[in-house]
Amino acid sequence: MPVATPEVYAEMLDKAKRESYAYPAINVSSSQTLNAALAGFAEAESDGIIQVSTGGADYFSGPTVKNMVSGSLAFAAFAQEVAKKYPVNVALHTDHCPKDKLDDFVRPLIAASQERVDAGGLPYFQSHMWDGSAVPLDENLQIAQELLAAAAAARIILEVEIGIVGGEEDGVEGGMGEHLYTTPEDALATAEALGLGEKGRYLTALTFGNVHGVYKPGNVTLKPEILKAAQEAVAGKYGKESPFDLVFHGGSGSLPEEISAAVDYGVVKMNVDTDTQYAFTRPIAGWMLSNYDGVLKVDGEVGNKKQYDPRAWGKAAEAGMSARVAEACTALRSAGTSL
């Protein structure tokens, strides 16, 4: 199917909210990882979200070019073409964008989509994320208001982060500690500043102990009840049940019951990056170790072209990652739900 239109993306999110499941949002940084994500969604018969970070966008443009906008547009163009051959819907998203990268990443991408929409076309991306976790909440929401207006005009959904995700991703450090937990007051301030849909649709990444990076199960202290408290606080004031479309960041090391509770409290999107990176790279390591005498020209021999051909080990890598994507769909209950 083609990449989701704004209407299809909205229905994807609405259906997930109604039926209490969430979409894995898979970070990619190459055509191979993008193909693996598509294959995983198709295997699970799940729609999904494919996203590119600032670092991923840099890499897509070429490691000697390092231009986030060029890389993002290249990613979107490639995805638009190859997604047509898969029987599921996928939305395209840009991941964490801190304040110092807005003018080189999200703002020009929204402007490019606005130009396309003005000409009667569709936006390049279905959603963009503004990561204001490193600035005070007032400033975070002020910037979010400006971006939400621009995104809504271009038929794009904005994602905002209210709180701080621990660990590190693409150079953004969240640290550890009590600041990793969003309060009901933060949620109320968000609703007051951004509305509840009348100013444009947005996704809300509230933090409840989330941490980016690699952690064993049980080593991350998640408190999904924080999501419930935030939803109830806003619902109590505005009379709208489960008002936020929530996003779960930093899920590595989370227990299945914690993921399930988060989805019950309104999570419709869960970012998956660290686990799929490992799932892609591990088969490559296995291939190289098992076929070292074919991959390397040992003792003056010529090696085995069929073993060092990137397609040979690439197939194994993509299969490993696609299986992890399908597993994420099952864990988030989106398997078998494709529109």
Which are the catalytic amino acids? 95
The Cα–Cα gap between 115 and 77 comes to: 16
* Paired strand residues for 142: none
- 167 three-class SS: strand
Residue in the block written with tokens 């606080």: 233
The Cα–Cα gap between 51 and 325 comes to: 13
Q: How many CB atoms lie within 10 A of CB 19?
A: 10
Asked if residue 268 lies in contact with residue 246, where contact means CB atoms within 8 angstroms, the answer is yes
The H-assigned helical ranges of 61-207 are: 68-82, 106-118, 137-153, 184-194
Asked if residue 122 lies in contact with residue 116, where contact means CB atoms within 8 angstroms, the answer is yes
Which pairing describes strands 267-272 and 23-27: parallel, antiparallel, or unpaired? Answer: parallel
